[in-house]
């Protein structure tokens, strides 16, 4: 269902792609012999200016960053794009035309026990031609901010100030090596992003 109601045997049967053009909840269930088999799948799809736009980057799974699905607190849920310490974290979203941009946000997970932490730095730049870029903002995090204990998700945002641009480039610097007092001392920290949100 696309109206928020729980699926029933009489609900419209899924038989092809679902067209989504706004934020909405998709609910699905499997039925056999008139009885629901298993639990209902609740899939919250978010829609923003970056959703379903081409992504120019260097990782095969970077398309997860603009697929409209947020990651859970399980970094293994296939909605998180991740990088190692020495990976180049840089990707560009082609909005396919100039857009007024007010706010940029990106989701990041911390899972202290597994060495998943926010990056040292996140920078956002914009361009009209994908050649000349202007920096809109940069977030920098100290080791005390990076290596927080627990498992949680944060959205980190930058004010875009109503700038008009076609391309949005995101660059980040990995967290480095987990410090000596970390549960995984000497292990490289990994960075996980789930979704880019551009308003």
**Run means of pLDDT, 10 residues per run, the chain, 199 residues:** 89 85 89 92 91 90 94 93 86 98 98 96 98 98 97 98 98 94 95 97
Q: Tell whether pTM > 0.85.
A: yes
C-alpha separations of 41 from 102, 132, 147 in Å: 33, 44, 34
Q: What is the dihedral of CA 125, 129, 130, 132, to 10 degrees?
A: -60
At which residue do the structure tokens 């396919």 appear? 96
194 in the Ramachandran plot: left (φ > 0), alpha (ψ -120 to 50) or beta? alpha
> Where are the domains positioned within the chain?
1-45, 55-198
For domain 55-198, which CATH number applies: 3.20.20.370, 2.40.50.140, 2.60.120.1190, 3.40.920.10? 2.60.120.1190
């Amino acid at each position: 269902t696309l109206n928020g109601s729980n699926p029933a045997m009489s609900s419209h049967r899924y038989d092809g792609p679902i067209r989504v053009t706004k934020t909405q909840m998709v609910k699905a269930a499997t039925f056999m012999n008139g009885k629901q088999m298993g639990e209902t799948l609740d899939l919250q799809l978010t829609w923003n200016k970056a959703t379903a736009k081409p992504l120019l980057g260097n990782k095969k799974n970077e398309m997860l960053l603009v697929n409209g699905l947020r990651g859970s607190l399980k970094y293994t849920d296939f909605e998180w794009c991740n990088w190692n310490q020495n990976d180049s974290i840089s990707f560009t979203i082609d909005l396919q035309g100039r857009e007024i941009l007010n706010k940029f946000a990106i989701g990041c997970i911390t899972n202290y026990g597994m060495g998943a932490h926010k990056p040292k730095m996140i920078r956002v730049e914009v361009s009209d031609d994908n050649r000349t870029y202007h920096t809109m903002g940069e977030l920098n995090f100290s080791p005390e901010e990076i290596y927080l204990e627990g498992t949680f998700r944060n959205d980190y945002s930058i004010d875009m100030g109503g700038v008009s641009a076609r391309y949005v480039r995101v660059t980040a610097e990995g967290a480095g090596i987990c410090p000596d007092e970390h549960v995984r001392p000497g292990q490289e920290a990994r960075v996980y992003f789930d979704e880019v949100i551009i308003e």
